[in-house]
Amino acid sequence: MRKLATLQTISAIEPITNADSIELARILGWAVVVKRGEYRVGDKIIYCEIDSLLPERPEFEFLRSNCFKPAQIDATGRIAVPAGFRIRTIKLRGQYSQGICFPVSLLPNGDHIPIGTEVTAELGIVKWEPPIPAGMVGKIKGPFPSFVPKTDETRVQLLANALERHKGKELIVTEKLDGSSFTAFHYQSQFGICSRNQWIDEMDGTSKYVAIAESFHLKEKLAEMSKQLGFDLAVQGEMIGPGIQGNKYRLEFVTLRIFNVVNLTTGMLLDFDQMQEVIKSLGLVAVPFLEKVTLNHSIDELIKLAEGKSVLNSSTLREGIVLRPISQTFEPDTGGRLSFKAINPAFLVKYDE
């Protein structure tokens, strides 16, 4: 779970070229444009990450003209996300700005709350989630199964310590694709299909997830592969194409690009080379491999590395990159394994509505 609003300190203030009324504040690995003179290095502040949805309260009204989002209603008519002010990535005077800072006085007793404390709920902040197109998922069978790890990637902006600790490590860089997370598993002789957060009824012929699983014959192939490997497994990838996230890569058909093969007996990801082999023998395709790097990068350098065009369509901005070692290693800062994303800020400015 992301901590959207936390108490933090301003670690640096930097000038912005050709701008005298604003400057850049550094908070964790984030860069935030603030009014000049508003904060000083060492100041304790409340920091809200991008994707924070601030409630309609007087103290946030100044955001209305740029950030207001009406309530999001889901397919069943319920309010999925309330109305509020959505914090997104912006570019000011050539400088990307991600998130927003407030003085600690916004909270009663704010002065006494320790650095790092999450205050999301206290401020009435929730996560902005774009509306999910109805009809894509289909019939839900149940919650996401506990025997499969959920797909997720931590943002590099939060990983200063991990970058230091893993310096010198060789990392695989893949393109982060902007579609929908897909999981198919073979577990204790049972086949299943999941979206990001749900277990989908594999008999529902209307589901895009079921259709793609059937087109790759995943039920039979995973059973066979499991027998061959001697353990239960899941494949996880990004479903992309028409009807999904605006089909940014302008594909003609829905397809799947795999980023994880999980040994469900141990809960571990297969090593990069073995994963590539398994993906191939299943008749699947992996997410685009970009390069191997030896980790010796600052957060800013990794964000720079994320910029560029997509391998799938050279006129589409890349959403970002995902970096991970060849073999899964334990990493406390990313909730278990070292693997993280750097999002292309230009992509966020362009597409993140």
Binding site for ligand ATP (CB under 6 A): 2, 51, 151-153, 155, 174-177, 181, 238, 259, 287, 322, 341
Report, in Å, the least distance between residue 71 CB and ligand ATP.
Answer: 19
Q: Which helix (H) or strand (E) holds 164?
A: helix 160-165
Q: Which is nearer to ligand ATP, 214 or 352 (CB)?
A: 352
Contact 113, 7 (CB under 8 A): yes
- Binding-site residue total for Mn ion (CB under 5 A)? 1
Return the one option of ligand ATP, Mn ion, none that residue 259 interacts with (CB less than 5 to 8 A, by type): ligand ATP
Contact 256, 237 (CB under 8 A): yes
Q: Which is nearer to ligand ATP, 110 or 345 (CB)?
A: 345
| Interface stretch with Mn ion, choices 144-152, 162-170, 213-221, 254-262 (CB under 5 A) | 144-152
Q: Which is nearer to ligand ATP, 103 or 308 (CB)?
A: 308
Report, in Å, the least distance between residue 145 CB and Mn ion.
Answer: 18
- Per-residue DSSP letter, 120: T
Q: In whole angstroms, how far apart are CA 123 and each of 2, 15, 85, 102? A: 15, 30, 12, 11
Q: Which is nearer to ligand ATP, 39 or 272 (CB)?
A: 272
* Residue 201 to residue 317: CA distance in whole angstroms: 34
Return the one option of Mn ion, ligand ATP, none that residue 322 interacts with (CB less than 5 to 8 A, by type): ligand ATP
353 interacts with Mn ion by CB under 5 A: no
Return the one option of ligand ATP, Mn ion, none that residue 174 interacts with (CB less than 5 to 8 A, by type): ligand ATP
One DSSP character per residue, 250-280 reads --SS-EEEEEEEEETTTTEEPPHHHHHHHHH
Per-residue buried b or exposed e for 76-110, using 16+ beta carbons within 10 Å of the residue's own CB: eeeeebeebbbbbbbeeeebbbbbbbbebeebeeb
Return the one option of Mn ion, ligand ATP, none that residue 201 interacts with (CB less than 5 to 8 A, by type): none
Q: Which is nearer to Mn ion, 97 or 334 (CB)?
A: 334
Interface with Mn ion (CB under 5 A), residue from 74, 129, 152, 273: 152
Residues 6+ apart with CB under 8 A from 332: none
Report, in Å, the least distance between residue 342 CB and Mn ion.
Answer: 13
Q: Which is nearer to ligand ATP, 201 or 238 (CB)?
A: 238
* Residue 212 to residue 236: CA distance in whole angstroms: 13
Binding site for Mn ion (CB under 5 A): 152
